[in-house]
């Protein structure tokens, strides 16, 4: 935890891709066990914002604090910090040359330094958690999209992270497979995991989120309780966006 009781703190984040100003001064604080949902039109910078939290994108300006560590400091060991932040991608990004269980054990052995037996035990536990005990020895190409994404979630959870980041985790899935992944995410939230979720699933945002952020053109336009924002959007852009997606 940071000194002010937050788990994540972003201070004045700016990000340029060349001449493109993608994030224009973002301040954000997230406390433990909070589920923050990021919505907004494509190109609004929500994925980039998520990726600055674990420094996959280095902010051009501004500071990122995670659990008392300043990630933007040049001497910070990012690998160590990232080991405690799980991330789930839109395109799953499972390692295709490794079996499902090996996808989980790789980082447990190489990063956390567990023995093979310990790692396998932990990995089996996590696969059971997402309901895929019987798929441990399957290769990713033998799994459905929903199963792959659940393995990816299990892979992140196996590292016992204090924070989970979801980058449009259901956008690449067939409609009938979205449910199984959302269910896992919802269970995770109920267990008290701190989560930052970029999503287009408005139902999930309303049901599971503690706080909703609406982003547009690189700034946070509006934030509040999901129910409030959905029912009574303050900003003109928010109204427009919600009228299109709801």
For another protein, the binding residues (CB under 8 A) are 54, 56, 79-80, 82-87, 89, 91, 93-98, 102, 105-107, 109-112, 115-116, 139, 141-142, 152, 155-156, 159
Rounded Cα distance, 43 and 36, in Å:
19
Query: Both tokens of residue 117?
Result: 């037996």
Shortest approach of another protein to residue 94 CB, angstroms?
8
105 or 126, CB closer to another protein?
Answer: 105
Shortest approach of another protein to residue 202 CB, angstroms?
26
Residue of 173, 206, 186 whose CA lies nearest to 90: 173
Shortest approach of another protein to residue 106 CB, angstroms?
5
Rounded Cα distance, 84 and 112, in Å:
10
Query: 5 by DSSP, 3-state: which?
Result: coil
99 or 237, CB closer to another protein?
Answer: 99
Shortest approach of another protein to residue 203 CB, angstroms?
27
189-191-194 Cα angle (round to 5): 50
- What is the helix (H) or strand (E) element at residue 52, kind and residue range? helix 46-53
Dmax (CA) for the chain in angstroms is 56
Shortest approach of another protein to residue 98 CB, angstroms?
7
Shortest approach of another protein to residue 223 CB, angstroms?
25
Q: How far is CA 235 from the centre of its chain?
A: 26
87 or 198, CB closer to another protein?
Answer: 87
Rounded Cα distance, 110 and 157, in Å:
16
70 or 118, CB closer to another protein?
Answer: 118
108 or 221, CB closer to another protein?
Answer: 108
- What is the helix (H) or strand (E) element at residue 220, kind and residue range? strand 219-224
111 or 128, CB closer to another protein?
Answer: 111
């Amino acid at each position: 935890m940071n000194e002010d009781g937050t788990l994540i703190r972003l201070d004045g984040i700016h990000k340029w891709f060349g001449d493109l100003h993608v994030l224009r001064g973002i301040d954000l604080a997230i406390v433990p066990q909070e589920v923050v949902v990021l919505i907004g039109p494509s190109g609004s910078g929500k994925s980039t914002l998520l990726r600055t939290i674990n420094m996959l994108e280095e902010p051009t300006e501004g500071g990122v604090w995670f659990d008392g560590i300043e990630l933007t400091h040049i001497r910070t060991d990012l690998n160590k910090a990232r080991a405690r932040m799980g991330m789930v991608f839109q395109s799953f990004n499972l390692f295709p040359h490794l079996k499902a269980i090996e996808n989980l054990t790789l980082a447990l052995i190489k990063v956390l330094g567990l023995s093979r037996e310990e790692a396998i035990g932990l990995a089996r536990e996590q696969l059971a958690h997402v309901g895929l005990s019987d798929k441990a020895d399957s290769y990713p190409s033998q799994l459905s999209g929903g199963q792959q994404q659940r393995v990816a979630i299990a892979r992140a959870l196996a590292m016992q992270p204090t924070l989970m980041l979801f980058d449009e985790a259901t956008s690449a899935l067939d409609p009938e497979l979205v449910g199984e992944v959302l269910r896992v995410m919802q269970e995770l939230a109920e267990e008290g995991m701190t989560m930052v979720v970029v999503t287009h699933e408005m139902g999930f945002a309303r049901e599971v989120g503690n706080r909703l952020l609406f982003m547009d053109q690189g700034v946070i336009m509006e934030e509040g309780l999901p129910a409030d924002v959905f029912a009574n959007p303050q900003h003109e852009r928010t109204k427009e966006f919600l009228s299109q997606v709801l």
